[in-house]
């Protein structure tokens, strides 16, 4: 398996623009997680899904952030409108039912100017 795939790997955009981050989890995994990592706040869980259903979105910072998982092999994290303070590395991770081990993607480095 190729592991968790994220795209794009790098994104530079201007304030106010819409940003869409994409994730393909490992085939057969039931859980999908979106994290954000910054120097100031470290690694934070934004939202996670189980069998494509959002279970906990309490980490989503604002209404500007939204996440979807239309099927078992694809998820998106959207920021609209983006702001400079959204600049961070966004990770997607997946895991199997009954396992505590999460497999992380390489991340998307987002810079909002």
As a whole number of angstroms, the distance between CA 61 and CA 72 comes to: 24
Q: How far is the CB of 88 from another protein (least distance, A)?
A: 14
Of positions 19, 60, 82, 91, contacts another protein by CB under 8 A: 91
Tell whether residue 25 is a contact of another protein (CB under 8 A).
Answer: no
Q: Is 104 in the site for another protein (CB under 8 A)?
A: yes
Is residue 33 near another protein by the rule CB under 8 A?
Answer: yes
Check binding of 87 to another protein (CB under 8 A): no
Q: Which of 16, 10, 19, 4 is nearest to 66 (CA)?
A: 19
Taking contact as CB under 8 A, which single stretch among the options 19-27, 39-47, 61-69, 74-82 is the one that binds another protein? 39-47
Residue with tokens 């092999």, as numbered in its chain: 73
Chain residues that interact with another protein, rule: CB under 8 A: 4, 31, 33, 42-45, 48, 50, 55-56, 91, 93, 95, 100-102, 104-107
């Amino acid at each position: 398996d190729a592991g968790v795939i994220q795209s794009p790997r790098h994104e530079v955009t201007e304030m106010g623009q819409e940003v869409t981050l994409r994730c393909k989890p490992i085939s057969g995994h039931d859980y999908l997680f979106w994290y954000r990592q910054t120097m100031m706040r470290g690694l934070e869980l934004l939202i996670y899904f189980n069998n494509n259903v959002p279970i906990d979105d309490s980490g989503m910072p604002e209404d500007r952030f939204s996440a979807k998982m239309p099927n078992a092999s694809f998820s998106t994290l959207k920021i609209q409108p983006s702001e400079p303070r959204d600049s961070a590395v966004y990770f997607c991770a997946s895991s199997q039912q009954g396992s505590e081990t999460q497999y992380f993607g390489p991340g998307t480095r987002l810079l909002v100017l």
